[in-house]
Amino acid sequence: MDSAFDDLLQHNRDFAATFALQGFDGVAKSGVAMVTCMDSRIDPLGMIGLEPGDAKILRNPGGRATERTLVALVLGVNLLNVDRILLVQHTRCAMASKSERELLVDISQAAGVDASWLDLGAIEHQRLSIIQDVHRVRSHPLIGERAQIGGFLYDVDTGLLEQVA
């Protein structure tokens, strides 16, 4: 069957031919969880010197501590060995570069249908939102003091992390 995914499936067969990630379980070996943006410039494991198996990586637009992200962190902290959580937003993020209204106009134009009903979650003040998200995770009753929580800004031009909260 011809598929839009043929090239990727071919690469997967190559990947499986030298597969080396078997033999460990799903806990975070390093105790780390990172929440970060879906931006393709970001290498979450590489930026902090980790490898597959080491960490829980949770990605969404902007790298926000959303409801479902908090659920994932609860699982990570209580069942999967996580004791350090990094909340990582980044410079030049599309979610922080335009207003909610401007982004919805862009999406409406690209899609050719009205997108104004969408709750996008554009970030108005990036550093403030990092501080707010750290507080949000820390004040969760099922996370709280069970993990160290840090908020960071990642510079996509230098690769450096700056701790904000």
Nearest 5°: phi and psi at 148? -75, 135
Single-letter code of the amino acid located at 6: D
- For Zn ion, the closer of residues 143 and 153 by Cβ is 153
- Check the annotation: does 7 bind a ligand: no
Structure tokens at 121: 């979650």
Give the shortest CB-78-to-Zn ion separation in angstroms. 28
- Check the annotation: does 133 bind a ligand: no
Give the shortest CB-81-to-Zn ion separation in angstroms. 27
Report the alpha-carbon distance of residue 158 to residue 165 in Å, rounded. Answer: 20
Of 87-95, 101-109, 133-141, 154-162, the window that binds Zn ion (rule: CB under 5 A) is: 87-95
- Check the annotation: does 155 bind a ligand: no
- Check the annotation: does 93 bind a ligand: yes
Contact (CB, 8 A) for 27 and 80: yes
The single residue among 93, 104, 122, 149 that binds Zn ion, judged by CB under 5 A, is 93
Give the shortest CB-46-to-Zn ion separation in angstroms. 17
Q: State the alpha helices, DSSP H only, in the chain.
A: 6-17, 44-47, 67-79, 94-97, 100-111, 126-138
Count, residues near Zn ion per rule CB under 5 A: 3
Q: In what side-by-side order are the strands of the sheet with 32-37?
A: 55-60, 32-37, 84-90, 148-154, 161-163
Residue 48: DSSP 8-state: T
Give the shortest CB-42-to-Zn ion separation in angstroms. 8
What binding mask, one character per residue, do residues 34-73 give for Zn ion by CB under 5 A, x or -?
---x-x----------------------------------
| Known binding residues | 37, 39, 90, 93
**Which residue ranges make up the site for Zn ion (CB under 5 A)?**
37, 39, 93
